Structure 1
Amino acid sequence: MASTVELASSFIEGAPPGELADVVADVQALTEGEDIIPSLLPAFKRYNEAQLAAVKLPGSSQEVGFAREWSMSAVKLTFAGKVIVSGFNELEDNRYFDPESQISFEVDHTTQTASAAQSYALESDHADLIKSLLKSFGVHAREHYPNCSYGVYPIENDTVIAIVLVANRYSPNNFWNGRFRAIYQLPVSSSSSTLTGNIHVDVHYYEDGNVALNTTKPVNISIASVSAESIVSRIAAAERDYQEALNRAFVQTSEGVFKGLRRQLPITRQKVEWEKVGGYRLGQDISGGKGR
């Protein structure tokens, strides 16, 4: 039988977009009297890295934008936006790095907060390509995805470049939250390569019910020219095609499956006047029967 920690960890790792705090509160309520949260740190870490948690750096600007400035003399950091937490930019001891701002930072996975920012110099034989990708991919991300964060990282001993994007849209007042994640990997050992990865879309709608959309689209694109412009252009096309396919699927589902789940008209073939529902006599008016 699974232990309490194992069960609670599964709840944490399965938290819908934007609802981690709610899940944590439920776990605490279910385990009242136990200080279980410290035992769930590995689950928080796995969740944050898998979901590409975006954290605000200490001392960062409150303004919306993407300007970054690092001054070693004044030890002053100005950073607008958030940076990604993932397995691709992990260092050690819960530290991560951001190649665009050239800093590293520590993360509290339980609270999703960053601290202890330090200067970080990216060491890669492909630093120029990474910088170009950050510039081109940043333009693409900001143009198409509100509230997004992105990153480009050298991985696998500098033989592969990881390109990641996360965009969140939360609307708890309307009982829905959503997250878009794109994760790509590009080998850089030759002049022509194949970009592989996955696009993930997760949406949770929970007004008077509980409906979840969890999709994953594998991506496999041949890149003839390993240049930032070519790579980002192919990524943009793949994301556009998938989003158009999702839109078509939504329309078909709305007009097909969902309509089939409910009776269009009651047995009388007349629409129910809901404002008068209190006056109906169940078994007579609704069924069309006559009073005896």
Structure 2
Amino acid sequence: MGHPGTPLTDFTRESEPEKVSLICRLLRQSPPGEFGQVVQDLYALVKDDELVRQEAAHVGAHHNKKNFTPVQVNGSTVLLTHYNDLGGNRFFYPQDKFSFEFDHLSGITSKTHLHSVMLDEEELWRGALHKGLNTYVNCHFPAGNCCVFKKSLGKRQMFVACIEAHEYQPLKHWNSLWKSDWTFALTPIMTRVTGVFLLQLHYFKDANLHVTIRKSVSESLHVIDRNQFVSDFVKFVKTEDDKIHTAILQNIQALSEDMWRKDLRRKLPITRTFMNWNDISYKEIGKVGWQRYGGAITRFF
């Protein structure tokens, strides 16, 4: 099989419940951008296409919503999330006020309909937040997407801002996803914004390396008027993005230095040739997530 994460197991000898358990476990472990390839591998391994399709459709829905998978609908990029899930594989896009059906196996959208949304004060805030966040994402992520949703939590109306950016390079042996969601209520004077980051990386050129980074942040922001809050919210998101980005780069640097100090310097032959280890670490590891542009480091995700 071509996919590095799928073990060569003889599924044909297993009972159907055992096959279902194994299929679901492997599908749930699929890194972002590799779900379809794992499904293809399972067709060959299990030799029961109907069973694989059945389980893949169910797990695929969870996979797409968990990873904020972007899809193109009517010229707009829509994120598939738990926040805009209408049930029955239908999703809505609050920005352009439509809903659609999505096939999680084929990736095909269909049955697009208008989705009415009351144009109240909360919807005006949601639209302003989306516009401000979208401007930031377009400037700081080469291939980023975002959307702001409303959700009810008991009697409270909450807002959830979702950001997704990915780079899938299977021919270069790596795939990566950067996503975050930001939850808050518009309470008078002050509100608490909670953000959750998730970074996933799969590198499989010379090894099968999986990296997952999670981080939660929280900050209280003043709520004076719409323009002020949107500006402060976007500044907060940018500040936290920069912090985690810088921390990851510092960890890559520390890892490189630690490997050199504890292992490489004892095992490599003495050639009296100068090697720029920092440059190597960025090229071989850092390029999976970041690129340098004119001396500045920019998110690749």
The answer to whether TM tops 0.5 is yes
SS in 2 for 1:9: helix
2:123 corresponds in structure 1 to 127
How far the C-alpha of 1:251 sits from its partner, in A, is 0.7
**Distance in 1 (alpha carbons) for counterparts of 2:210 and 2:176:** 10
Equivalence map 1:145-164=2 (5 Å): 145-156=141-152, 159-164=157-162
1:218 corresponds in structure 2 to 216
2:179 corresponds in structure 1 to 181
How far the C-alpha of 1:145 sits from its partner, in A, is 1.1
| Structure with the bigger percentage of helix | 2
- The structure 2 residue matched to 1:141, chosen from 123, 137, 141, is 137
2:250 corresponds in structure 1 to 248
- The structure 1 residue matched to 2:61, chosen from 2, 21, 45, is 45
**Distance in 2 (alpha carbons) for counterparts of 1:19 and 1:234:** 32
1:287 corresponds in structure 2 to none
How far the C-alpha of 1:29 sits from its partner, in A, is 1.7
Equivalence map 1:98-113=2 (5 Å): 98-113=93-108
Quickly say closer, same or farther: Cα 1:209–1:164, change in 2 above 3 A. same
Quickly say closer, same or farther: Cα 1:139–1:217, change in 2 above 3 A. same
The 8 Å contact of residues 101 and 110 in structure 2, kept in 1 or not, is answered as yes
1:7-42 C-alpha deviation (Å, 9 max, x unpaired)? 211221221121112111122122014522123322
Unpaired segments of 5 or more residues in structure 2? Answer: 1-14, 273-301
Establish whether residue 27 from structure 1 lines up as the match of residue 42 from structure 2.
Answer: yes
SS in 2 for 1:11: helix
SS in 2 for 1:133: helix
How far the C-alpha of 1:262 sits from its partner, in A, is 4.1
1:135-157 C-alpha deviation (Å, 9 max, x unpaired)? 10000111111222211000125
Unpaired segments of 5 or more residues in structure 1? Answer: 61-78, 273-292
Establish whether residue 92 from structure 1 lines up as the match of residue 87 from structure 2.
Answer: yes
Once the two structures are overlaid, the 10-residue window that deviates more, 84-93 or 104-113, is: 104-113
The 8 Å contact of residues 5 and 40 in structure 1, kept in 2 or not, is answered as no
**Distance in 2 (alpha carbons) for counterparts of 1:205 and 1:4:** 28
Larger Rg, first or second structure (1 or 2)? 1
Establish whether residue 237 from structure 1 lines up as the match of residue 239 from structure 2.
Answer: yes
Once the two structures are overlaid, the 10-residue window that deviates more, 36-45 or 130-139, is: 36-45
The 8 Å contact of residues 83 and 98 in structure 1, kept in 2 or not, is answered as yes
Quickly say closer, same or farther: Cα 1:97–1:22, change in 2 above 3 A. same
**Distance in 2 (alpha carbons) for counterparts of 1:212 and 1:116:** 37
**Distance in 2 (alpha carbons) for counterparts of 1:49 and 1:4:** 24
1:172 corresponds in structure 2 to 170
1:118 corresponds in structure 2 to 113
SS in 2 for 1:18: coil
SS in 1 for 2:223: coil
**Distance in 2 (alpha carbons) for counterparts of 1:87 and 1:185:** 13
Letter in 2 for 1:219: V
Letter in 1 for 2:113: Q
**Distance in 2 (alpha carbons) for counterparts of 1:153 and 1:258:** 47
SS in 1 for 2:189: coil
**Distance in 2 (alpha carbons) for counterparts of 1:223 and 1:112:** 39
Quickly say closer, same or farther: Cα 1:32–1:247, change in 2 above 3 A. same
Letter in 1 for 2:124: D
SS in 1 for 2:116: coil
SS in 2 for 1:213: strand
The 8 Å contact of residues 101 and 112 in structure 2, kept in 1 or not, is answered as yes
